Amino acid sequence: MKFTFLLSLFTTSTAFILPSLPTTTVRGESTKLDVQLPVDPWSDPIPTTSTTDVPLLLPSSNFFSSLKKVSPYAAHALTPISYTPDLDPTLVTEFEPDLQWQTIESHSKNTNKPCYKIEKARFGPGVEVLRFRSKIQGYADSKKFADMIMTTAERSKWDEQLDEVYQSHEIGVERFKSVGEWGECRMLGVGYCKTKKAVGGMISPREQLTICGILEGIGGSVIWGVEAPPQLDHLFPEGERKVRASTDLFGTTLIQQGDHFEVEYVLKLDIGGKVPGWTTGPVVVKTVKELFKFAKDKFGREREVGEEMVRKRVEMVREEFELLIPQ
């Protein structure tokens, strides 16, 4: 199964404001806590090649460190701790900095809304990080979920802004051993994507070249992506270049919880150009809602019981990736 990936979502473009440092009291003394900022994922790239021996680069573990700081679900999924099928926030609090998260929209988890919580926060320079959470009935199949994002056939069913998406280069998963501490690499590739005009033509077509993959941890699965560095610009297809969007951080985490799974979708994307921020905010919210609405219908057709889903998840991790799971 070839791995293609599209990150054609938009977020607000606003100036960076460093959040104020929170104060805490330690042994009667007032001190300042350090705000953890993202580390450049390409500060220490990993040289590799595609399956056809095309020279490529992979992001360092810095990328996954930053992802875990804004995604408690990803921290839970990729933390080398003893296995637990339950999502326990206390296991991952050490990874999330004291960011000023602002709730954009919130619903009861028992409603039929596609997302039960949408938040945003400042994390590093540039645009804000957006975080979406939802609950989906069914088995947390990471390949199946990624397929909804990475193939034109599936994505065109819910994303009206999609023009084209395809895998430009496949990378063997064995070439990404350096992130073994985070999880086992299940899929890996380079994807090209292009979007149509948006917001009534106010936003021109965009294009991206991303490095992306799927990591399987003991606690869950993480579908991740990051914009390819300038050194790989030669991998763009021939033809007229479009305005380039840039995905600084992307991760979708799936965690099985009985007969359903929790999803956390995190995105930090600059659409490029000179587009007013107010025109892009509603687009990303609408697009992600459509993704989750489509996923709820697609996964909700399954009829496996909760215990069977948990057993299936444990066996998959143990047999495919040989991770140590207590018996």
Report pLDDT digits (tens) over 193-215: 999 987 777 788 999 999 999 98
Contact 90, 229 (CB under 8 A): no
pLDDT value of residue 279: 64
Q: What is the mean pLDDT of the chain?
A: 76
Provide the Cα torsion 66, 6, 280, 215; round to 10°.
Answer: -20
Confidence of residue 6 (pLDDT cuts 50, 70, 90): very low
pLDDT of 314: 65
| Residue 9 reports pLDDT greater than 50 | no
User: Backbone phi, then psi, for 40, in 5-degree steps?
Assistant: -55, 120
Q: For 141-153, how does the pLDDT look when each residue is reduced to its tens digit (9 = 90+)? A: 999 999 999 888 9
* Dihedrals phi, psi of 218, to nearest 5 degrees: -65, -35
- Consecutive H or E run containing 65: helix 62-70
Please measure the distance between the N-terminal and C-terminal CA atoms of the chain and give it in whole angstroms. 32
Residue type, 61: S
Q: How far apart are CA 193 and CA 150, in angstroms?
A: 9
At 321, list the tokens. 């990736």
Given a cut of 90, whether residue 58 has pLDDT beyond it is no
CA angle 112, 292, 220 (to 5 degrees): 105
Task: Please determine, for residue 307, whether its predicted confidence score (pLDDT) is greater than 70.
Answer: no
pLDDT at position 179 over 90: no
Q: Give 200 or 285, the one with higher predicted confidence.
A: 285
Structural domains of the chain, with CATH: 38-321 (3.30.530.20)
Which among 31-35, 192-196, 303-307 has the top mean pLDDT? Answer: 192-196
Distance between CA atoms of residues 265 and 273, nearest Å: 24
Query: Which pLDDT value is given to residue 219?
Result: 80
Of 44-53, 82-91, 120-129, 310-319, least confident by mean pLDDT is 82-91
Kindly provide the b/e burial profile for residues 166-198, where b requires at least 16 CB atoms within 10 angstroms of the residue's own CB: bbbbbbebebbeebeebbbbbbbbbbbbbbbeb
pLDDT at residue number 28: 31
Integer CA distances (angstroms), 305 to 14, 85, 107, 257, 308, in order? 45, 15, 26, 11, 5
Q: Has this prediction a pTM greater than 0.85? A: no
Residues 6 or more apart in contact with residue 297 via CB below 8 angstroms? none
C-alpha span between 133 and 156 (Å, rounded): 22
